[in-house]
Amino acid sequence: MPTPNKAADVAELEDKFRSSNAVVLTEYRGLTVAQLKTLRRSLGENAQYAVVKNTLTKIAANNAGITSLDDQFTGPTGAAFITGDPVESAKGLRDFAKENPNLIIKGGVLDGKALSADEIKKLADLESREVLLSKLAGAFKGKQSQTASLLQALPSKFVRTAEALRVKLAEQGGAE
């Protein structure tokens, strides 16, 4: 029979799974408390990293409808619960793992879809949402400028053509 503390822990974890856009599971064996503190800072403001108990976390994930992570709850497990931009947090995890090889990214879930460790690394290689949106806005602005130039060029070209035709007709009329 579960104790009230364990039931409360499961409920809290279940709430974190439901409120997160993404969850990344890691193995943190060999990391010091100071390194874990650095890891938490590197994830950004929109992510929480917690050392979790495998059995309780597996129950909470299943209660939240996430069964794709079941095989990853082995060994010392830490979970990054991401509520904001998952790319920023994935970059933080990737960069921290480069400096600290004891951190191993096991896998995760993004918007209900299971992600492997390689897919999380690919996610980290993406540019942030803000950068992608600014590039899109720049592309739209560029197309608007091209359209404006084209629309401006048409009347101008028409006037030059009409003027050339008038001059040619005036020369032909004066030559007779």
Backbone angles phi, psi at 141, to 5 degrees: -65, -40
pLDDT at 176 > cutoff 70: no
Confidence at residue 44, expressed as pLDDT on a 0 to 100 scale: 78
Mean pLDDT of the chain: 84
Which has the minimum average pLDDT: 70-79, 92-101, 165-174?
165-174
Q: pTM score > 0.85 for this model? A: no
Q: 174 to each of 85, 132, 163, 169, how far by Cα in Å?
A: 74, 63, 16, 9
Confidence at residue 119, expressed as pLDDT on a 0 to 100 scale: 87
CA 73/CA 93 separation, integer angstroms: 18
pLDDT at 120 > cutoff 80: yes
Confidence at residue 139, expressed as pLDDT on a 0 to 100 scale: 76
Average pLDDT rounded to a whole number, residues 143-152? 75
Which has the minimum average pLDDT: 25-29, 154-158, 159-163?
154-158
pLDDT at 72 > cutoff 80: yes
Confidence at residue 81, expressed as pLDDT on a 0 to 100 scale: 93
Average pLDDT rounded to a whole number, residues 49-62? 89
Contacts of 124-129 with C-beta under 8 Å, sequence gap 24+, read 124/87, 124/90, 124/91, 124/93, 124/94, 126/87, 127/87, 128/85, 128/87, 128/88, 129/85, 129/87
Confidence at residue 92, expressed as pLDDT on a 0 to 100 scale: 87
Confidence at residue 174, expressed as pLDDT on a 0 to 100 scale: 58
pLDDT over 90, % of the chain: 4
Confidence at residue 122, expressed as pLDDT on a 0 to 100 scale: 84
